[in-house]
Amino acid sequence: MASNSFGQLFRITTWGESHGPAMGVVIDGCPAGLKIEANDIDAALSFRAGGKNNYTTARKEPDSASILSGLFEGVTTGAPISILIPNRDVDSSAYEPIKDLLRPGHANYTFLEKYGLFDYRGGGRASARETVCRVAAGAVATKLLRGIGVKIVAYVKAIGEVAACIATENAEELKKERDTHPLFCPDHLAGSAMEAVVTEAKEQGDSVGGIVEFIVNGLPSGLGDPVYNKLEASLGAAMMGLPAAKGFEMGEGFRAAAMRGSEHNDRFVREEGTVKTATNHAGGTLGGISTGMPLVGRVAFKPASSIKKPQETVTHSGEETTLEFPSHSRHDPCVAIRAVPVVEAMVALVLVDAFLLNQCVRINQITPAHSLCGDAPLQETAPHSPHPSVSL
Amino acid sequence: MASNSFGQLFRITTWGESHGPAMGVVIDGCPAGLKIEANDIDAALSFRAGGKNNYTTARKEPDSASILSGLFEGVTTGAPISILIPNRDVDSSAYEPIKDLLRPGHANYTFLEKYGLFDYRGGGRASARETVCRVAAGAVATKLLRGIGVKIVAYVKAIGEVAACIATENAEELKKERDTHPLFCPDHLAGSAMEAVVTEAKEQGDSVGGIVEFIVNGLPSGLGDPVYNKLEASLGAAMMGLPAAKGFEMGEGFRAAAMRGSEHNDRFVREEGTVKTATNHAGGTLGGISTGMPLVGRVAFKPASSIKKPQETVTHSGEETTLEFPSHSRHDPCVAIRAVPVVEAMVALVLVDAFLLNQCVRINQITPAHSLCGDAPLQETAPHSPHPSVSL
Amino acid sequence: MASNSFGQLFRITTWGESHGPAMGVVIDGCPAGLKIEANDIDAALSFRAGGKNNYTTARKEPDSASILSGLFEGVTTGAPISILIPNRDVDSSAYEPIKDLLRPGHANYTFLEKYGLFDYRGGGRASARETVCRVAAGAVATKLLRGIGVKIVAYVKAIGEVAACIATENAEELKKERDTHPLFCPDHLAGSAMEAVVTEAKEQGDSVGGIVEFIVNGLPSGLGDPVYNKLEASLGAAMMGLPAAKGFEMGEGFRAAAMRGSEHNDRFVREEGTVKTATNHAGGTLGGISTGMPLVGRVAFKPASSIKKPQETVTHSGEETTLEFPSHSRHDPCVAIRAVPVVEAMVALVLVDAFLLNQCVRINQITPAHSLCGDAPLQETAPHSPHPSVSL
Amino acid sequence: MASNSFGQLFRITTWGESHGPAMGVVIDGCPAGLKIEANDIDAALSFRAGGKNNYTTARKEPDSASILSGLFEGVTTGAPISILIPNRDVDSSAYEPIKDLLRPGHANYTFLEKYGLFDYRGGGRASARETVCRVAAGAVATKLLRGIGVKIVAYVKAIGEVAACIATENAEELKKERDTHPLFCPDHLAGSAMEAVVTEAKEQGDSVGGIVEFIVNGLPSGLGDPVYNKLEASLGAAMMGLPAAKGFEMGEGFRAAAMRGSEHNDRFVREEGTVKTATNHAGGTLGGISTGMPLVGRVAFKPASSIKKPQETVTHSGEETTLEFPSHSRHDPCVAIRAVPVVEAMVALVLVDAFLLNQCVRINQITPAHSLCGDAPLQETAPHSPHPSVSL
């Protein structure tokens, strides 16, 4: 049911198959007055493309987005923003010989079970190529959030058995270190060990899993809803909806299960006129609502299912066979690396939606409508702004 | 936005504060023709109440549900099912002295930040008392699922540093062992060690965290949607929306991050005319859609924030003070134990919704409408059933 | 799919059958800080009950609502508001003899077709008794709207061939005249003729249709969304979802089909510093968005299907028979009269939802979050209010 | 909130401005296995383009749709279907001189009030050009409905004071007569009078309103939901959401207000083993659910607001001025004519959604999942079909 949409007030709908003509996303509910430049999106796509390392299978040509609607003179109008990203570097030949095989760990089996047919070329809709749309939409969300002081960073926290040691919750510092490492790991020492792990897996025609962590600074308190739409629940849906995701945790996460309450509870303190907590075991939420402390979460990714090593399997009709990809087929040895920009994008999409939803939860916060002539028709206190477009 | 509702086709809406007159849930979208008895729900509430052990703070009187609508002669009619559960054993006096304090690890701070006011009595809407509604609704979902052969079990997997060793994915066996252990742990050896941990925490006026695991047998393949509404994403939202939940994982979960693809991929085999996988590292889904193998997931719960130990904090206005609960206040030393029936209920709610959503995804599956007189007006092949109510 | 819910941000869910123990509604998304008194709702229910005239079948005892959740010290908390209205005056005996008959013009046939069974007592979920929940929820919406200066009035515009002549768009004046007429018609001359029509229909064991008009004053401009969620589309869904509604129109409505553009277009003028239109043929919206002029709409109601006159029909199994209600059965000769408070309630529900949705459509309108200590953490301009509850 | 989307299970999202590069629609939730050819959509677009008469302002080049996703080998896969329609014949020069004027009867005023800015070129998002997306999506819905025997026709019922006399509810006959008349009116005698009305309005630089009627044959009973999602409510939202729509009615509609119950109630009869009604005053629904009789409804359209005649108005800043379109600007003298294919499309979208939603409302109707190997894992009665794609 609208399973290709995400979000409530700031809502995206994505479409496109890996080896079809293009991928696309429609953003509905972006407030009017936000300046967007084509480069805002292309920069995010370029970050997703993964750069010039040997660890990810970048398509040959960089992705470039066309904004087909929703902007007028460079500013959002409140109309849906349609973004289209062509699929330039498509080669379906690797998939032809294996089209009748069930691919171990892959969704082609379950798509067949559900729909009775499957677009096998490049994985069709099940391909991680779909995440290019999330990243494009995330770039718009990020632009809006930046204007209210929210900073998001994601990075590789672990690959295989190697975990990074992260000693700060400062998003900018982490981003700086991350951006100078080929595996997006801000702890360069651990990062070198990770490189060895990925290289080994690749040489063996295998893949390896990993963990991506995100940290958000500057998030206002009060975002998220009690009960079913807790902020961590929305983040959980977003992260567990990523290709290859197998786990999600906030703050101490699974470690909290082994802690005592007296140890895990974050003490409230007053600092510079604001309430804060002395520690941040909670990871930035209490009871589903943001505290104003850094938001901290982690996503576990399984090793990619597509590997060069031959694998025993069966065909659609149940006959035993061996799956062996052609030698020229391209696979990521570690999808967690590629997931970094996608995690950032999904965090941004969750937060911008929570932010908009938080605009009408108190009687004393809601305001009467706008007036073209600058006079509020109903109350003297209407927050009229004469400048319709505001640069964030 | 409808933040007190959960589900799409089978949709629940809950209401009620811990120390208000009653809790309630409205179930919308339950198919007509399902036999429901009051005891179906009361038995689930009794399981939630936790029994006669020393480890949970059962209210003195058992909960009992009134079904106020949606049934006719014991059978669902397709109309909304309203269930009301009175709050019989309410004592707000323990909350009066601490009403101006920020409770460490508790949502009273964030509710105040969001709404500007907080119903402090018993935690109001932030209380785990709300889960009684999830369990009541889950009982209806479970009844429906049982009719199509789906069996769900949840149990305590870990408390503190002690983890159970679970050697089977058979839900019935696990349920049998679980039901004979006071902490709902099917591994009785580990369970004894857990008892010691909980007892110690309780004696120290402290609390301890834990992990709940669930396993589902008999789930059809094809449930869940690709992209944003993956089955694991819906489960992630459901589980991360539970009080005190800090982490969620499916199958190998976070362990998958340290695995190789050749190790994690589950090999497809043909067994008794059906495709299965030889192993189940994936935990029952591929690409967001159920495989037909057992569904396996885990939820990490933090230690309860409410503890008897004195804690430093500040008041609403920022003055330093100490939070000390009155000696007669009641707190759970380990909320993970109480979470077991709630996890089962939320799994049932996710699955019944996914099941209904899966009824219209293929052209050759959808059928023309029903006809009172038993004649399909449009096509010869209409699957008319002469018996409107079917006992599952 | 959530077919018993209405609204998006301010969302109601109703439950209950006419002859069950109670009716109820859960309001989710009402902003925190709104003062609600029990009498706000009971007064609306009393208006719905229709008073002491001979033209409507008031149940013997007045309805009285219990608010079971969502208030703390008389103020909304942001939690769901559960309202329960007992069914005190239930007598199902009139329905027993006709339970196997298809009632002409009634939904018992289509419920049977859809669900395979029907709660025939009092019409079950198909009864207009359900509207008591709409009126209760509408009272809360109306309270909120009144605080921002919005005034809604509905009244009987026509019964049978008799139409009222309404020469003003002033809601308060209309309300005053309406409230002194037994048929809720502000044109008392026409009202007298309507009385004769209703009396005649009643004496003949028949029923008669009618038209209800609503007018809203003080509505801000900018409410409603372009394209699919136009304000008139939301109103259309609300009004066509009323029992017995067969038509809905805005402004000139069907008369507009016979007009010229030069005649229908409302000329813009500047008046007291605000843009207005010289006429209001449009009825208060342009392109789906409110103009700030009075909102004007009309709903056509068919004559009630339940009449005392014998009617030929068939049984469930298709045998010819005659439907004759017992002499003590109670039927409204004109449901349009009873619909007046329900139309008002639904208009209020549509408008409050549109109002909340309009809080986050411009970048320069959205604000960072609240802060308990009164300091906006992110921007100097945060609209903090020290008083969490504001009396509207 | 997702205000550019329509539908629940079969859900469309549209985007694009009249004078932007393209219009587009994403269809989410179309069942897998439906054969779609490019011509299915282009034929519908061609019908919308209005042909070679003098009464509508066809763009010079015909519209042609590109299907960018969701099909594999000509069959739907269950993935979102993205359709793009280029805007080939764009000339914004007519809008430049009037960009600072409030256009009487037009949405540019309310868009400015809501969003603070307006894409004035061609009306931007407020243009009826958006309906090209509805028609494209409607073509897919229509294909599906045709497979289950549902036939929809819409036609011009009235223009100005001239009304057609329609003596049949047979959709095919009506379609045949409609398609041979330049104004889409099946009553050719009335149609000639309508031609005179439109010609006169055009010559005077004016516009005229009209009424479009739709009739559906072969609709199964049981579609639509009680209470808030009545079939007539969904149709009401769909029709009142059309550009220039001012009224909607079902069956007798507003005429029902002047009728007696004994006259309006449709008598149930048994005919050829099926229950029918002897008359169809209700227009095909009772209590919000389809009866199986022809569905009949009507939409009133106001005269187009854009006319050549000079009109007094004010500028954005409130100064008095005169609006005069350049002589080369193109306007429809009667938008009701152009609305005919759009009404058909929206009816199809409402019905296909109601049809899918009706697949899971009875326990004895729902079925376990599919199995790739043809064996139902859970029940012997699983309705497996060996042929995944079925030509409707």
How many Å from the N-terminal Cα to the C-terminal Cα in chain D?
34
Cβ-based neighbours of D323, under 8 Å, separated by 6 or more: D98, D101, D103, D104, D310, D311, D312, D313
pLDDT > 70: percent of chain D: 90
Q: Which of D296, D283, D326 is nearest to D308 (CA)?
A: D326
Q: Does D317 touch chain C (CB under 8 A)?
A: no
Q: How far is CA A262 from CA A254, A265, B123, B299, C158, in A?
A: 17, 6, 19, 21, 70
* Under 8 Å between Cβ of A222 and A293: no
- In terms of C-beta density within 10 A (0-12 exposed, 13-18 middle, 19 or more buried), how is residue C131 classed? buried
Global confidence as pTM:
0.94
Separation between Cα atoms, residue B239 and residue B298, nearest integer Å: 9
CB of A13 within 8 Å of a chain D CB? The answer is yes
Backbone angles phi, psi at C266, to 5 degrees: -90, 125
Q: Of C247, C266, C357, which is closest to D247 when you measure between CB atoms?
A: C247
**pLDDT greater than 90 at residue D342:** yes
Cβ-defined contact of B28 to C16 (cutoff 8 Å)? no
Q: Are strands D151-159 and D210-217 parallel, antiparallel or unpaired?
A: antiparallel
Cβ under 8 Å to D: A residues 35-94:
66, 68-70, 72, 75, 77-82, 84
The token pair that represents B345 in the structure block: 């209920």
The Cα of A2 is separated from the nearest Cα of chain B by a number of Å equal to 9
Question: Which chain A residues are closer than 8 Å to B241 by Cβ?
Answer: 227-230, 232-233, 236, 288
d(CA D207, CA C265): 10
Q: How far apart are CA C141 and CA C352, in angstroms?
A: 6
Q: Which two tokens stand for residue D52?
A: 């070679």
Q: Which among A292, A366, A383 is the nearest to C31, CB-wise?
A: A366
Do residues A341 and A44 lie in contact, with contact meaning Cβ atoms separated by under 8 Å?
yes
D271 touches chain B (CB under 8 A): no
List the structure tokens of C288.
């789906």
Name residue, tokens 């604000």: C367
**Among C220, C273, C360, beta carbon nearest to A359:** C360
- pLDDT, tens only, D245-268: 999 999 999 999 999 999 999 999
Q: A35 vs chain C: nearest CA distance in angstroms? A: 10
Question: What is the rounded end-to-end Cα distance, in angstroms, of chain A?
Answer: 35
Q: Does D220 touch chain B (CB under 8 A)?
A: yes
Give A286's strand partners: A289
Query: Does any CB of chain D come closer than 8 Å to the CB of residue C371?
Result: no
Distance between B73 CA and the closest CA of chain A, angstroms: 32
Residue C100 has a CB neighbour count (10 Å cut-off) of 12
**Structural contact between residues B172 and B298, judged by C-beta atoms closer than 8 angstroms:** no
A214 and A232 in contact (C-beta within 8 Å)? Answer: no
| Residue of B147, B292, B359 with shortest CB distance to D360 | B359
Cα dist from D138 to C135, D25, D142, D143, D144, whole Å: 36, 11, 6, 8, 10
Residue C300: its H or E element: strand C295-301
Query: For residue A15, which of A6, C363, B284 has the smallest C-alpha distance?
Result: A6
* Amino acid occupying residue C363: I
**Starting at the edge strand that comes first in sequence, how are the strands of the sheet with C11-15 ordered?**
C5-6, C11-15, C22-28, C81-86, C66-67
Does any CB of chain C come closer than 8 Å to the CB of residue B17?
A: yes
Identify how many contiguous H helices and E strands chain D contains and give both numbers: 8, 18
Tokens, residue A139: 């770039």
Of D252, D281, D256, the residue nearest D268 (C-alpha): D281
A228 touches chain B (CB under 8 A): yes
Query: Nearest Cα to A341, choosing from A48, A56, A130?
Result: A48
Nearest-angstrom CA–CA distance, A75 and C94: 64
Report mean pLDDT in 10-residue bins for chain A, 392 residues. Answer: 89 96 97 93 89 58 91 96 91 82 94 91 88 97 95 98 97 97 97 97 96 98 96 98 98 98 97 92 98 98 96 92 85 94 98 95 71 35 31 34
Residue type, A261: G
CA quadruple C121, C125, C126, C131: dihedral, nearest 10? 120
- Give tens-digit pLDDT for A203-245: 999 999 999 999 999 999 999 999 999 999 999 999 999 999 9
- Cα separation of C256 and D125, whole Å? 23
- Distance, CA of B251 to CA of B212 (rounded, Å): 13
Asked if A252's CB is within 8 angstroms of B246's CB, the reply is yes
Residue C338 tokens, joined:
């009873």
Q: Partners for D (CB, 8 Å, 3+ pairs)?
A: A, B, C
- CA–chain centroid gap for C133, Å, is 10
CB atoms under 10 Å from CB of A165, counted, come to 9
Q: Which helix (H) or strand (E) holds A153?
A: strand A151-159
Q: Residue C203: exposed, middle, or buried by beta-carbon count in 10 A (0-12, 13-18, 19+)?
A: exposed
Total residue count of chain A as it appears in this document: 392
Angle at which helices B335-357 and B38-49 cross, to 10°: 140
Please give the Cα distance from A260 to C183 (Å, whole number). 68
- The angle that helices C335-357 and C231-240 make with each other, rounded to 10 degrees, is 150
Q: What are phi and psi of B348, to 5 degrees?
A: -60, -40
With vertex at residue D26, the alpha carbon angle to CA D25 and CA D29, rounded to the nearest 5 degrees, is 140
Mark yes or no for CB contact C17/B79 under 8 Å: yes
pLDDT at D94 over 80: no
pLDDT confidence band for D73 (50 / 70 / 90): very high
**Distance (Å) of CA D161 to CA A328, D158, D304, D337, D366:** 71, 7, 16, 15, 50
Interior angle at CA C258, CA C252 and CA C261, nearest 5: 75
Closest CA relative to residue A206, chosen from B284, B281, B266, B264: B264
Q: What is the pLDDT of residue C325?
A: 87
Give the residue from chain A lying closest to C32, CA to CA.
A362
Neighbouring-strand partners of residue C159: C162, C210
Which residues have C-beta within 8 Å of that of residue D392, sequence separation ≥ 6? B363, D34, D35, D143, D144, D146, D147, D148
Best of D363, D371, D381 to substitute, by most chain B Cβ atoms within 10 angstroms, is D363
Q: What is the distance, to the nearest Å, from the Cα of residue C65 to the centroid of all Cα atoms in its chain?
A: 18
Q: How is residue B117 written in tokens?
A: 């006011």
What is d(CA D225, CA D228) in angstroms, rounded to the nearest whole number?
A: 7
The 3-state DSSP class for residue B157 equals strand
Here the tokens at position B15 are: 């209401």
C positions 289-308 inside 8 Å of D (CB): 289-292, 300-307
Q: Phi and psi dihedrals of B377, rounded to 5?
A: -70, -20
Alpha helices in A231-367 (DSSP H): 231-240, 261-264, 335-357
Q: Tell me the one-letter amino acid at B326.
A: P
Amino acid at residue number A17: E
3-state helix, strand, coil in chain B (%, to 5): 30, 20, 45
Query: Following CA atoms A340, A346, A352, A357 in sequence, which dihedral angle do they give, to the nearest 10 degrees?
Result: -150
Q: Which two tokens stand for residue B76?
A: 């669902």
Give yes or no for a contact between C24 and C137, defined as CB atoms under 8 angstroms apart.
no
Please tell me whether residue A253 adopts helix, strand or coil conformation. helix
Using 50 as the pLDDT threshold, list the residues of chain C that sit under it.
369-392
Instruction: Write out residues in chain B with pLDDT < 50, as ranges.
Output: 369-392
Residue C28 sits at the chain B interface (C-beta within 8 Å): yes
